[in-house]
Amino acid sequence: MADPTTGETDRIRSYFGEASWRRSAGRDLLVAERRELLEKLVRESLPPIAELSVCDVGCGGGADLERWRSLGVAEERLFGTELVAERAEVARGTVPRASIARVDDFEIPFPDRSFDLVTASLVLSSIRDPVGRRELLAEMWRVTDDGGMVAVYDFRVRKPWNRNVVAMSGRELRATLGQPTAELRLAPLLPLLDLALRLPATPRAALVALLPRTHRLWIWHRELPR
């Protein structure tokens, strides 16, 4: 019998191997918004940046890991996982002293309670199999240290024509990890955001404030033992 996990991971590899995303001012703004908010939360509730250990699940080419390095996280304390071999190689070139694991399933090949911060950005929505999503979430929790944080960034509204992804729901996430510490609405609708950014500053700000938010940043803290 074929392993359903293998079929799903092969599909994800094929999807990311063929997909391309057009860079735009709006997309850059969304990335900056996500990073700045997460960095603020980390500074408020985790050890100093220089002492952090970070694991980025589905790290792609290592851009987020590079960002943490630029903020002061020691490169040797940066870790990532990636299904796509070519993207894992790019990540190794981006952060050469980080540990990048090329994986074949949804297990995270690091010990229990290894990291202060475990992140997944636009990763869970690429897993169409709900069992795989639950497995990956449980693995993220397993490798998070006491006092640490799990951060999931993903979309609640997907493009109807993209059948390779699913919209994430808070209910599904809560079923695996429990009630999040925070659930934050982010990401103005990208096509309209790109249009709004062409306007003068005053109408642009007003329009951006009115745009629907299509993504969420969910945060869970793993409490210290009493």
Greatest CA separation found in the chain?
60
Tell me what the mean pLDDT of segment 54-75 comes to. 97
Q: How far apart, in whole angstroms, are the C-alpha atoms of residue 205 and residue 149?
A: 32
Ranges of each domain in the chain? 4-221
Residue 217 neighbours by CB distance under 10 Å: 22
Q: For a pLDDT cut of 70, what percent of the chain falls above it?
A: 96
The CATH number of 4-221, from 3.90.1150.10, 3.40.50.150, 3.20.20.370, 3.40.1080.10, is 3.40.50.150
Q: How far apart, in whole angstroms, are the C-alpha atoms of residue 38 and residue 68?
A: 11
Work out the mean pLDDT of the chain and round it to a whole number.
92
Adjacent-strand bridge partners of 50: none
Q: Is 20 helix (H, G, I), strand (E, B) or coil?
A: coil
* pLDDT tens figures, 150-179: 999 999 987 778 888 999 999 999 999 999
The CA dihedral of 173, 174, 176, 180, to the nearest 10 degrees, is: 90
Q: Which of 7-21, 73-87, 144-158, 201-215 has the lowest mean pLDDT?
A: 7-21
pLDDT band at 17 (very low <50, low <70, confident <90, very high): confident
* pLDDT tens figures, 179-191: 999 999 998 888 8
Q: How far apart, in whole angstroms, are the C-alpha atoms of residue 206 and residue 197?
A: 11
